[in-house]
Structure 1
Amino acid sequence: MYPNLLAKRAALTPNRVGLRFSGEDWTFDQMYQEATLFAQKLSSKGIQPGMRIAILASSNQELMFALHGCMQLGCELVMLNERLTEEELSYQLADSQADYLLVDSHEKRNLASANIISFKDVYAAIPTQLEIEKEWPRQRTITIMYTSGTTGRAKGVRQSLENHVMSATGSALNIGVQPNDCWLCNMPLFHISGFSILMRSVLYGMTVSLHSKFDAEKAVEEILTGTVTRMSIVAVSLERMITILEKKNLLFPNTFQSMIVGGGPVPLNYLERAIERNIPVLQSYGMTETSSQTTTLAAEDAIRKLGSAGKPLFFADVKIDGEEKIGEICIKGPHVTTGYVGNASSINPQVNGWLHTGDIGYLDEEGYLFVLDRRSDMIISGGENIYPAEIEQVLTKHSAVKEAGVTGRSDDTWGKVPVAFVVLKKDASIEELKEFVKDKLASYKQPVDYYIVEQLPRSASNKLLRRELLNTIKKSPNVD
């Protein structure tokens, strides 16, 4: 058993600021009171401990209190991505078998769910007496987050209390914890990158400065005040912040301790410029199945081990599966999920205790991990993970499409963007294909360019070679 995290934190440091949003502060005691009241009102609406509650809302103080409130009531949280289409959200709601959908506004979406409750509905309810548990089972499911698999369909990943606690503990042992720590969180709370900051906050007694979305100017401005000590980000966003500092000829203050960067290696140019601006960059590698980080590269090793994701955190182990030096990355540790929900519930994520990630990489002679291919073909666009197979499945549903291949192309703004290559069996225009996927995929997953080709590159075993797709543009005169 673990203690009720927020209740324990409120008892230990009741007057310490736990949340800062839009110029207003809440202490941990105030957060606990808000969360308890929200739980009591949820109970009066018929929501009971153990129920599965899907949440669709923007990141703000209301969402923070709602998440903690659901946890106080003992509910499982299904974290829904606001950027998904109605079709994608409907699938996840059905697959997770959520008992209720909690939204910040009824006007936001038109989802066919019988049990929709808004924050406003909850606030209007009369609270009921509720006994708040002082201890939580370690294997209790806290969150369910959907991550696309290489086969295309999103899988609901269970993240237990132990997964979250051990992930946060491993990170703390790596970066250290100070009483004045403040983590600037502009990652959405429905992502593991954002939710993990919420969990670290109650375990460390750390302030979260919550932003609804990433704004490079605002982030830089706040860090320059000296109040923020840490931040999580992706490489593309880091570069935007560096550019602002360069234009103003400013440095980050020494109060800023670490910039944790995920979503792929940080280019040498970014690292060199970050050093000049006094930004300690810690590159990391993790995934939804590992409740955030598994490895982290120390700032002092950033140049020496360029391209590395660092060494495993204290409770994590990493090995390479295969006879060669390069192979599939496998992860073991108490932060690794024990299973999925819905259609993927029969899949065991661990083989003899090891999570086989599908990512390809190697460990050097000093034990540093190098990730060569993110889940083979995954596209990381502005910090979002995009799987080509999911887009290909949608495209091949079009009556004119015989085959489809999708890959990522470098982009100055987003890092990479998806590009589609299509073999037709009857005439169809590119505009028609664009319109076909418009309502079936989130905007960031939609291909920015389409190429009509005679054939797709394949291996001797007829496997699609996505890495060769871009070469098709150069080699074939028949590419549109």
Structure 2
Amino acid sequence: MYPNLLLKRASLTPNRIALRFYEKEWTFAQVYTEANVFAEKLRTKGILPGMRVAILASSNPQLVVVLHGCIQLGCELVMLNERLTEGELSYQLQDSNADYLLVDSFEIRNLAYPKRLSFEDVHLAEQTAFEMEKEWPKDRTITIMYTSGTTGNPKGVRQSLENHVMSASGSALNLGVQPHDCWLCTMPLFHISGFSILMRSVLYGMTVHLHTKFDAEKVVEDILSGTVTGMSVVAVTLERIITVLETKNLSFPNTFKSMLVGGGPVPLNYLERAIKRNIPVLQTYGMTETSSQTTTLSSEDAIRKLGSAGKPLFFADVRIDGEENIGEICIKGPHVTTGYIGASELRNPLVDGWLHTGDMGYIDGEGYLFVLDRRSDLIISGGENIYPAEVEQALVKHPAVQEAGVAGRSDDKWGQVPVAFVVLKKDTGEEELKAFMKTQIASYKQPVAYYFVEQLPRNASNKLMRREFFKHIKDT
């Protein structure tokens, strides 16, 4: 058993600042009180402990209270990505079999669901008192986040209380914890990268300085104020921060300690420029199934171990599964998911206790992990994971498309962008396909270019050879 995290934190440091949003601040005692009031109103609306509640909302203080309120009530949170299309969201709601859907606003959320409530609906309700649990079982599911598999079918990943606690503990042992730590959060709270910051906040007694969305100018302003000590970014947002500093000929103060960068290796050019601006970059490797970080590269090793994601955090273990030095990355530890839900519920993510990630890499003689290929065909664009099969499945829904293949193309701004290769069965054009795809999948998954070909390269097993796509185009 673990203690009720928010209750414990509010009792330890009630007057410490938990949340900052623009000029407004909330102490841990205030967050605890508001969360419990919201939990009691959820009871009035018929939401009970153990129910599965899907949440669709933008990152702001109201969402923080809603998340904590649902957790206090004992609900499982299905974290919905607000960037997805209505069809994608509907699939996740049906697959998760959510008891209720909570949205921040009916005006901006057109998603239909039998049991749907707005935050305002709950706030207007009366309070129904209930006995709050002072201890929580370690295996209790706190969150469910969807991550598409290589087949293109989204999988609902369970993240237990122990997963979150041990992930935060491993990060604390790596970075250290100080009473006046403040983490700038521009990552969406529906992502593990954002939600994990909230969990670390409660466990560490750390302030979260929340932004609704990323704004490089505002980020630089907040860090230069000297109140922010850490932040999580991806390579493309790191570069935007560096550019602002360079334009203004500024550097970060020594009060800023950690810039965690995930979503793929950081280019050498970024690292060299970051060093000149006193940005302590720490490259990381993690995934939804590992509740955020598994390995982290210290800033002092950033150049010496260029391209490495670092060493495993204290409670994590990493090995390479393969006959050669390069093979599949496997992860073990208490931060690894307890399993999936819905259509993937019967699929055990662990083999003899190890999570087989599908990512390829190697570990050098000093124990540093190098990730060579994330799930072989995975496209990482601006830190977002794009699975080719998911885009392909959307493309072949068009009546003119016979076959489709998608691969990533290098891009100076986003790292990679998706490109589509299409075999037609009747005439159509690129503009028509682009218009169609806007109705099928989120904007960041849209192919930036379309090539019309007579056939797609396949191997003897009739599987697409995505790495041959661009060569295939050149040869035709």
TM range (shorter): over 0.9
1:417 matched residue in structure 2: 417
How far apart are the structure 1 equivalents of 2:471 and 2:73? 54
Q: Which moved more, 1:379-388 or 1:4-13?
A: 379-388
Matched residue of 1:53: which SS?
strand
Q: Secondary structure at the match of 1:201?
A: helix
CA distance in 2 between partners of 1:470 and 1:172 (Å): 44
Question: C-alpha deviations, 1:410-441, integer Å up to 9, x for none?
Answer: 22332221110011122222222222222110
Matched, 1:139 2:158: no
1:59 paired residue number = 59
Letter in 2 for 1:296: T
1:50 maps to which residue? Answer: 50
Q: Does 1:444 align with 2:444?
A: yes
CA distance in 1, matches of 2:243, 2:468: 33
Partner deviation per Cα, 1:132-168 (whole Å, 9 max, x = no partner)? 1110110000000000000001100000000000000
1:250 aligns with 2:250: yes
Equivalent residues in 2 for 1:337-356, closer than 5 Å: 337-356=337-356
State the alpha-carbon separation in 2 of the partners of residues 146 and 321 from structure 1.
25
Take 1:172 and 1:92, find their aligned partners in 2: how far apart are those partners? 33
The separation in 2 between residues aligned to 1:433 and 1:247, in whole angstroms, is 39
Equivalent position of 2:313 in the other structure = 313
In the alignment, is the contact (CA less than 8 A) between 1:86 and 1:109 conserved in 2? no
Tell me how far 1:112 sits from its aligned partner: 2.4
- Give matches, 1:213-362, under 5 Å: 213-362=213-362
Deviates more, 1:451-460 or 1:325-334: 451-460
- TM-score of the superposed pair, with normalisation by structure 1: 0.98
Unaligned runs of 5+ in 2: none
- Whole-Å separation in 2 of the counterparts to 1:344 and 1:147: 11
Cα distance in 2 for residues equivalent to 1:404 and 1:411: 21
Structure 1 residue 131: deviation in Å?
1.4
Alignment of structure 1 residues 15-414 onto 2, 5 Å: 15-414=15-414
Distance 2:251 2:111 in 1: 47
CA distance in 1, matches of 2:209, 2:296: 23
Do the aligned partners of 1:164 and 1:291 also contact (CA within 8 Å) in 2? yes
Give 1:402 deviation, angstroms. Answer: 1.9
Per the normalisation by structure 2, the TM-score is 0.99
Report the Cα distance in structure 2 between the residues aligned to 1:238 and 1:329, rounded to whole angstroms. 26
CA distance in 2, matches of 1:221, 1:468: 45
Instruction: Tell me how far apart the structure 2 counterparts of residues 180 and 111 of structure 1 sit (CA, whole Å).
Output: 41
What is the distance in 2 between the residues matched to 1:248 and 1:108?
37
Opposite residue 227 of structure 2, the aligned amino acid is T
How many Å separate the matches in 2 of 1:138 and 1:28? 23
C-alpha distance in structure 2 between counterparts of 1:419 and 1:108, whole Å: 30
What SS is found at the alignment partner of 2:143? Answer: strand
Which amino acid is 2:106 matched to?
A: H
CA contact (8 A) 1:192 1:288 kept: yes
Distance 2:47 2:425 in 1: 51
**Letter aligned with residue 317 of structure 1:** D
Query: What code does the residue aligned with 2:340 have?
Result: Y
What is the CA-CA distance between 1:374 and the residue it aligns to? 0.9
Q: Deviations over 1:37-59 (max 9, x none)?
A: 00011111110000000000000
Runs ≥4 in structure 1, deviation > 4 angstroms? Answer: none
Question: How far, CA to CA, are the matches of 1:346 and 1:145 in structure 2?
Answer: 17
Superposed displacement of residue 190, structure 1 = 0.1
- Residue 113 of structure 1 deviates from its aligned partner by 0.5
> What percentage of aligned pairs have identical amino acids?
77
Report the Cα offset of residue 380 of structure 1: 1.1
Q: CA RMSD in A?
A: 0.9
Q: How many residues align?
A: 476
- Give ranges in structure 1 of 5+ residues lacking alignment: none
Partner of 1:329, secondary structure, is strand
